Amino acid sequence: MATEKELQLDAVTEPKSNKKLIIIIVAAVLVVAIGVAAALLLMGGDDAPAEEEMAEGEVAEESGPSEGPAIYIKFKPEFIVNYQVGPRQRYLQIYMEAMTRNPAIAEALEMHSPMIRSAIISLLSQQSFEHLRTAEGRADVRGKLQQEVQRLISQETGIESGLEEILFTNYVMQ
């Protein structure tokens, strides 16, 4: 009788093993199918960037050809300006860089650095501390600085345009 029970138990356990095997195979196939579908979806998106690049190229052609790679000129050392706000002494510390694509402007920025630094400090000291604390104030002063530096460069070199940006690489107020 013991042998009959063992046969019955073996017969009962065999279908469970097959079910487990089938479930594992189906799960593996699903994982592979999902992986393939994800890969095709990600690889299928390559056409869109090519169209975006064409559109960007067309915009670049409309705005004019660039003169070359961007040249960044650091204004060293950083600018520190003191402000009297009520009874407290406050200060602004800015690290700045100028961006141009014209080597003549880059050379002029370095050559006339003392005059440019003086004008920048003067312009910064005329600003309201509270205004400079806002995002609009920072953008406003960046625009004013760009205009002033461009004015000084054109005054000294005769080059009317070419300074593309004044960039704040660090902006600290206390």
The arithmetic mean of pLDDT across residues 124-152, rounded, is 93
- According to DSSP, the residues that pair with 165 across neighbouring strands are 99
- The residue out of 13, 40, 63 marking a domain boundary is 63
State which residues form the domain around 116: 71-173
- Nearest 10 degrees: CA dihedral of 130, 132, 136, 139? 170
> Quick check: 98 pLDDT over 80?
yes
Q: Within this chain, do residues 80 and 164 fall inside the same structural domain, yes or no?
A: yes
Tens of pLDDT, residue by residue over 21-78, are 888 888 888 888 888 877 777 776 555 444 444 444 444 444 444 568 999 999 989 9
Tokens 């046969």 -> residue: 7
Question: Which three-class secondary structure state does DSSP give residue 103?
Answer: helix
Which phi-psi region, left, alpha or beta, contains residue 85 (left: φ > 0; alpha: ψ -120 to 50)? beta
| Alpha-carbon dihedral sign for residues 126, 138, 81, 104 | negative
Q: Within this chain, do residues 52 and 91 fall inside the same structural domain, yes or no?
A: no
- The residue out of 44, 63, 82 marking a domain boundary is 63
Tens of pLDDT, residue by residue over 109-130, are 999 999 999 999 999 999 999 9
Q: Within this chain, do residues 80 and 39 fall inside the same structural domain, yes or no?
A: no
Q: Within this chain, do residues 32 and 114 fall inside the same structural domain, yes or no?
A: no
pTM listed for this prediction = 0.59
pLDDT at 44: 67
The DSSP annotation for 8-73 comes to HHHHHHHHHHHHHHHHHHHHHHHHHHHHHHHHHHHHHTTHHHHHHHHHHHHHHHHH----SS-EEE
Which is more confident, 161 or 14? 161
Cα separation, 168 vs 150, whole angstroms: 16
Q: Within this chain, do residues 161 and 84 fall inside the same structural domain, yes or no?
A: yes
Q: Within this chain, do residues 88 and 125 fall inside the same structural domain, yes or no?
A: yes
Count up the domains in the chain and report the number. 2
Say what angle helices 113-125 and 135-157 make with each other, to 10 degrees. Answer: 150
What's the CATH number where 77 sits?
3.30.479.30
> Quick check: 165 pLDDT over 60?
yes
